[in-house]
Amino acid sequence: MADIYNGTYLSMMEKVIVSWSGGKDSALSLYEIQRDGNYQVVSLLTSISEPHDRVSMHGVRRTLLEQQSRALGLPLIKIPIPRECSEEEYESRLMDVLGKVKSDGINHVVFGDIFLEWIKEYREKNLSRLGMTPILPIWGRETLELTRSFISLGFKAVITCVNTKLMPRSFLGKVLDENFLSELPPGVDPAGENGEFHSFVFAGPIFRQSIPFALGRTVTRDSYYFRDLLPSEGSADEKRH
């Protein structure tokens, strides 16, 4: 009876996909939408830079996102992004992938946006072209409270990217914890919502196991410092330093 009940319950839930960068906001959004009880997450969606084989902006290797995907028990849908991709080309590729998602009966995409209204409107405009709508589980939350909630829930994340104009490179490779928050320069949003920093989540309540990695070299690209993360064996706690 339990199996029959569970199958019936899942069939009644609205299927969604989660926009996935591998960072803290997408992880917390996945956590919240899974707790909601009205939605069934069927896959993750990410953009991968073809020249670098890394997730766009965060600079994390595709292989590490695939490890996250396995640890979450969710398939990863990848949108390949070519070098010097125009906004029109990006949207075309996004619409192609989302069109296939829509044809599978999925009408919603979950995002980890917090307060940037222009991004929210951009999501709504693009998805409306396909008759889809965004879901924003952490929208409107105060960012210091939100980040502290992320920490207290047991998530662990490492800083992979910082804006050179707003933060020193010494923040790269640090674990996102209370010490990190206390050391942030004045004016930097605690959640990095203005693009001050990006992260990679390697453990937490939604993961079946932690993601092992080692810290690699630091590079500068445009206005950002990036710290490479190298796939590794063993536990993430042992290997991250």
Give the tens place of pLDDT for each residue, 1-56. 444 445 544 567 899 999 999 999 999 999 999 999 899 999 999 999 888 899 87
At residue 184, the pLDDT reads 97
Distance between CA 80 and CA 93 in Å, rounded? 8
| Domain residue limits at 36 | 2-239
At residue 5, the pLDDT reads 45
Which single residue is written with the structure tokens 């009644």?
Answer: 12
At residue 165, the pLDDT reads 95
The pLDDT > 90 percentage for the chain reads 80
The CATH number of whichever domain residue 43 belongs to comes to 3.40.50.620
- Total structural domains in the chain? 1
Residue 140 CB partners (closer than 8 Å, separation 6+): 114, 115
